[in-house]
Structure 1
């Protein structure tokens, strides 16, 4: 597939792809919606003119960078289809464009992604090495650069996660912070939803070949219908509830009572190998198109 990038998808690759989108497609709009701890831009990409507002995001977790690669592959394929007045998986791209306003934040955690793929910078080496127990292998790192799990940062059941999660201080993974929304990346995503009022949200993670679609019985009936659709097109298992709180999807469902999903792409150990990229992208594309339809 010409749209796939068969190399670790770091921040520089994201910048290259965004530059190409800006240069090639006048209908693709890119915005800097905030900055990471280390000052890297967090980008939002918008495509479409419809009334229904749908949002996708990837790489909340650093070692799940393959989600950024898959989402950007979808953006590239979708943009080319719109430009050529073509179809994508048998659906008119112009129809999708006219029916839906799509927002994508492909890399929520750029500092963490850079750490996992390219290692620490001189500025952060001492800090992150200490949190990584002195190890130079950062493949297990999920957190942002300050050692906070960005998908445990939202004010919905956060106290539950804070009480039961280990470790109790900044670490490579699972630390929810000392308060909700303490991290700039998590704040950026909350502010984006509050500003844009998305109708549907899909947060892409890895792994498990399944997805979660409920929270605290706040999800609408539409969520079940979409879950059945996603399950059918992807072959992934739809899971209603899991014992987890304080995630972006959880907060979205609790606060807005609209359909929200956490999609767990692929199977295996994070970071997923690039040998899985084609299969991961097939599932991503099918779910994305299904999410854009009414």
Structure 2
């Protein structure tokens, strides 16, 4: 509980710093006045219409991706599992790019429809990856899963390049930035499109923590303890895919949060999922809000896509884990 409290306080601290930071700076006093209705119209516009929605989305997307990765690592017993590395995020992204490529430009984008589209793509990619990773004698092979995910992600990336040929320059620029992991949803309707999915899925996943503990023991022992292994794995995998799809639809193609967040949480609270899942959510939210702050601050007035900052942190860590893995 102490660790989670500290993680929560760190999120609040970075949240406050992020509200003060940007090309147009607001002092802490100005932020405080604006939050309570005392700021100028310009300050209110900057804080409520641009910064706050993006900061909230960063925390929500980071939490969702980290919990998704934690579930994948648990049900596959593979420390390298991550929705980005395995190609699940790429499947979600392909559906979003298809939507952008074929949806009429003269109509408003139905933001609330995007998470469902992304979940469909993520679910299709996940099903294909798991089918290709099954070993007849050992069940799901962690090594085969990583290789299958990387191959499918590469194939999907190639399909996206082909699709971008038919895009007009404005759409192409948007897709390029989105694929790099930009927090592109910067108003409250994007928050409201993502929040219901997290509000439903996260409590259910936390409720399933004991089932996830049993699955990590291996199929034979889990069956002997009375667990319906196939059904539980399917339910948890579906939740993981839904979380990843919804977060990718709103936050862009961000990888490695689902890898680094759970590993950081595991070092802090241990491997019991009653504590690991909420700690992963907090660690993922903290990681992404810090990455988004750095992305906005490093090259002002320009900004770096948040996914690139996360990749700078996550890619070396992935290589370190890969070197340690005996899968």
TM-score category (smaller protein): under 0.3
- Structure with larger RCO (C-alpha < 8 A, sep 6+): 2
Whichever structure has more helix as a proportion of its residues is 2
TM-score computed with the length of structure 1 as normaliser: 0.27
TM-score computed with the length of structure 2 as normaliser: 0.25
Whichever structure has more strand as a proportion of its residues is 1
